Structure 1
């Protein structure tokens, strides 16, 4: 017992010392001891906790290395919404905002706090009794993802408050990757053969939203706290600036470049200063945030929509430079889009060497009149994604030809084909759309997306074949199209690292079970453009089999209500592709798809559009939607102008309020079941 008490006392002392040095190193940037001395303290604490597991606490510094992987993120409902800022792009727009604020607060003195607008991920951190208990992303402003375990690994985030703090409160801030950390992370990903992060914000968001907290722990994330979300049990200062100073005392890291400004002139000087020095910052910032300092004034001004009236983001102009357009390349996206991009004479913009830039689509290239060999203006859109603004016309030499994707990709047979090696499918451009597409679902550039879509729950519902396993199948050449899934054997899976016989058997069982998926799910799983669950069900009822749909003529598709010209063109392009037809022929032989009701038989819900919301008692929302469609009705995920009925379960949320406001009739699950399963004495008329 004495040994345990001594270990407990020593562990407490070690935690106190380690957190003290964490704060000095990660928050104050003023370390007192060497890395070796710090490591020795942490190692001693780890050994004590290993010997006495009962000593481990959630706020122990040893717990920052990351817990076990999560199956999914939970949802956190924000006690107060996380609002989005309105933007000003010129000083005149900033002055217009100031004028509106002054008009709403006549004869009142206005002072401001200016902060850098960080390029990171907004988060909300809740503390109770001095301990960090919940961390959540912004999400939709009302609800965010619970990323508590991952945020525990961010060294500059205090797990325990220093000094006296309110019994419960929430702070809000930005998790970000410093420029040095972003470059280091991308270099390692390039070395490992992984796709590079496009920008620090994507890297920060991707790091925080990892199901495995150990991945987050290995990335050099940092955090700045920029406001108090809510507090209970304690009176707080009257200004935002004083609140920031108090939160520093509690141990939170804040941006050292925050500044209190007593006038609009001082705000503009702050902006000019950092516009000039932005490239010297150790992180990405795309502007400044201007807030009223008085919390009473903030409260009285409130918000309009999702934007507070008391704050605004004043954005920096995008970095620009001029260079030569050497060529235009074509890449194929994961959904089959053909994306033109500029191949440039390398140019230095905002601390980054730019060699390529986006060109959006062929129409945009022609609208801007961009041609090969031009001197072009490049800017980093949002200071992140390089894009071509346009040509410098006075530097153009001669009259270069107008760019054409079809001409660039035209082969010896006169047809424009997909540029991806191993594909070569004939490309097409749907009428009224800006993009060209490769229709081949087995195109190597699309196969990852096709496979994930095919195995998804609304598709073939093959559980266990997620992104990681799909990537492995493709990289090893085990799968060259979705039909190859049905050739995989259990021993091929069981031999894989980290997968035992049981897991392999479960995946094989899921693959086998998918052979009996209903036809609407099979059609959806194919990934034909514009074919969602609703249209898949419509086509299934109309044609009755995958073979019949594959052989459908344009005139058969044109007369189906709800199947418009773009959808018809997409279906025809898909089934006219030779690779796709080979896949369909194999699937027809493999699958044992059960029969479905014919579209010619009118059901009790014919002609009615439904939306299902909330939690139902006897079935899932997906199952309710399937029953509605089988009875002749149609379903949509969201309310539309054609929605006649909203099926309401528990915790229905905002859709119920919107339906009432729009005069849309609501029905219960019980009412739906009555119309789906009428008594033998006669069919009830729920709908008059």
Structure 2
């Protein structure tokens, strides 16, 4: 078997494992084994670039930058669905169907109505050709590069698929992934996303497809378009789509009467709480594609389908008080304390009020009877007030102006929705929160030290900054509550081991506002050490990939604080990794000495990362964005349009791949 056959065999195997995992929910190998096979394929493709395939399983990481999404007409219009809110509406719909079709048996397919962003994907010869958003139904935006990063969207189909067809579906964000995304935002002091649906929809229009690839989006398919002559029914088309490799929800059922439709609705109205995705109803479709054609369309909707919308789960209860929480970044979050009430299978006692603007908008007051919903939200929220039940002596809510923990006057910066306590080093929740973040798994990962122990250490006066952790002694810890001799020893050992954590994670652990895991890596690998980052001016910081003005200003503010500098100097003294430990680099020449080179596009001979290494090996510095300081650009296929425009405007030389290789003495003719 030659190398090309080996690569293709490995691709087919990985496509099959993707199908088992995402379409069938039945993985046949472990995640570790899958990752090892994927890495092996990446290595083989890297060593044999002549076998490059844009539809390889290795190409899901994204990297294409799209400034403006092209608007493309739909080959088949994407209609909206008529909505019904009662079973009487569905009975009237059935009567209209019978009036058109006559006295014939009608079967229905019941599918859950997932709440996300609609998508239409065209496949030609078993591979993705194009993916369009709904838009206005007649035309949508081309988001093909972003859709290819979603793992439940098959890149290459299997089985007896048609030569060309379109498939329609919903891009959704599972609750579990949504929670994790919000937790990551909260950790860097950002405002969390409001709901999974809007987040999923917004993801499709991100300009950098590598950012879309980081989001745990899924694609749930519900309709095959353009192949009615090859299919007989809606239900059989769903089963066919699943066999080709698509993720088709298993909840869909075929029923023989409207009474069975009601049974399906009743069941899922009671059980939807346990679903992993946001759903707001049921879609009922006539099963026979022949009957669908007979029924046709109105000017807006198909006559053969109807959406039944669930009532949002809402209860009334009394707002007993409003309390205010202080986060590690100083952000103030108002919380509604409610009279306990049953909602969506759980007892609700608290709900987020988000910020001062939300309280003012709803005119929420203590003592009010409020409406509380969960709906698709994970956290209960107050959606309104029963004004008729408001007490006569009710007083408008006055948002606090001092910190509830330390009494410091709150601040609210222009353009931000939250109030903040500026007492960064004197406010207990901020101090404890920063240390808890520092020792967390994604940061310093200190074994033997949990959040409760951090609180104990602070309350006992043993730590007030994360640098104090490195001066702790076993005999100081043992007397603490629930701390035995062995536990204290494990804690000290865990702190010692944390000195081996690499610089990029240490930088994340420092808790600089807006600097999450990804940004910390970018900054660490760009500046190499903490001192270079500390001295970087604003204009230099914003040149780093993914670093905008807000992040850059936050970094500068952090290093302008003398207390932070003292803490960092202490960390240096304790042996914490505050510089990148790099592999020894072989410098082949000084061809690019003094030049900053930007790399953009897709290359055939080398990957972008390999070209960046070659630039450094020949004396140059890799830039992330184009400026007047850029020496030249190495451009591959599909170079980012914004970079191309800027390079041309600044008259920066643009080299193609072959020209660059010749400059470093590599001949690939």
TM-score bracket, normalised by the shorter chain, equals: 0.5 to 0.7
SS at match of 1:235: helix
**Residue in structure 1 matching 2:111, options 105, 111, 115:** 115
Q: Which stretches in structure 2 are left out of the alignment for 5+ residues?
A: 325-332, 402-408, 419-542, 558-597, 599-620, 632-641, 650-669
Distance 1:503 1:141, change over 3 A: farther
What's the counterpart of residue 276 of structure 1? 270
What's the counterpart of residue 237 of structure 2? 243
1:474 is displaced (CA, Å) by 6.0
What's the counterpart of residue 401 of structure 1? 394
CA distance in structure 2 between the aligned counterparts of 1:465 and 1:8, rounded to whole angstroms: 38
1:23 is displaced (CA, Å) by 0.9
Contact kept? 2:544, 2:625, Cα under 8 Å: no
CA distance in structure 2 between the aligned counterparts of 1:6 and 1:114, rounded to whole angstroms: 49
* 1:14-62 superposed Cα distances (whole Å, 9 cap, x missing partner): 0111111111111111122222222221111111100011112111100
Corresponding position: 1:71 with 2:64: no
What's the counterpart of residue 510 of structure 2? none
* 1:350-379 superposed Cα distances (whole Å, 9 cap, x missing partner): 37865135899899858xxx7531232312
What's the counterpart of residue 411 of structure 2? 421
CA distance in structure 2 between the aligned counterparts of 1:39 and 1:466, rounded to whole angstroms: 27
SS at match of 2:92: helix
CA distance in structure 1 between the aligned counterparts of 2:100 and 2:376, rounded to whole angstroms: 31
1:69 is displaced (CA, Å) by 2.3
**Residue in structure 2 matching 1:386, options 377, 381, 390:** 381
1:127 is displaced (CA, Å) by 0.5
What's the counterpart of residue 314 of structure 1? 308
**Residue in structure 2 matching 1:87, options 76, 83, 90:** 83
**Residue in structure 2 matching 1:502, options 624, 628, 634:** 628
CA distance in structure 2 between the aligned counterparts of 1:410 and 1:182, rounded to whole angstroms: 30
Corresponding position: 1:291 with 2:253: no
CA distance in structure 1 between the aligned counterparts of 2:381 and 2:7, rounded to whole angstroms: 51
1:179 is displaced (CA, Å) by 1.7
Corresponding position: 1:210 with 2:230: no
CA distance in structure 1 between the aligned counterparts of 2:283 and 2:381, rounded to whole angstroms: 24
CA distance in structure 2 between the aligned counterparts of 1:212 and 1:224, rounded to whole angstroms: 23
Q: Which stretches in structure 1 are left out of the alignment for 5+ residues?
A: 331-339, 412-418, 424-441, 447-463, 479-493, 514-688
In angstroms, what is the RMSD of aligned CA positions? 4.0
1:265 is displaced (CA, Å) by 0.2
* 1:67-125 superposed Cα distances (whole Å, 9 cap, x missing partner): 33222322221111111111111112222222222223332322110000001111111
**Number of residue pairs the alignment of both structures matches:** 431
Corresponding position: 1:97 with 2:87: no
Distance 1:390 1:172, change over 3 A: same
**Residue in structure 1 matching 2:247, options 238, 248, 253:** 253
What's the counterpart of residue 189 of structure 2? 193
What's the counterpart of residue 628 of structure 1? none
Contact kept? 1:210, 1:216, Cα under 8 Å: yes
Contact kept? 1:318, 1:383, Cα under 8 Å: no
Contact kept? 1:122, 1:137, Cα under 8 Å: yes
Structure of higher RCO (CA pairs closer than 8 Å, 6+ residues apart)? 2
Contact kept? 2:351, 2:381, Cα under 8 Å: no
Distance 1:299 1:500, change over 3 A: closer
What's the counterpart of residue 604 of structure 2? none
CA distance in structure 2 between the aligned counterparts of 1:49 and 1:207, rounded to whole angstroms: 29
Contact kept? 2:545, 2:625, Cα under 8 Å: no
Written as runs of structure 1 = structure 2, the 5 A alignment for 1:254-653 is: 254-326=248-320, 343-345=336-338, 349-350=343-344, 355-357=351-353, 371-380=365-374, 386-391=381-386, 399-401=392-394, 403=396, 408=398, 421=411, 469-472=548-551, 475=554, 498-499=624-625, 501-502=627-628
CA distance in structure 2 between the aligned counterparts of 1:444 and 1:477, rounded to whole angstroms: 19
1:243 is displaced (CA, Å) by 1.3
Contact kept? 2:79, 2:301, Cα under 8 Å: yes
1:302 is displaced (CA, Å) by 2.2
SS at match of 1:308: coil
Distance 1:443 1:316, change over 3 A: closer
CA distance in structure 2 between the aligned counterparts of 1:97 and 1:465, rounded to whole angstroms: 58
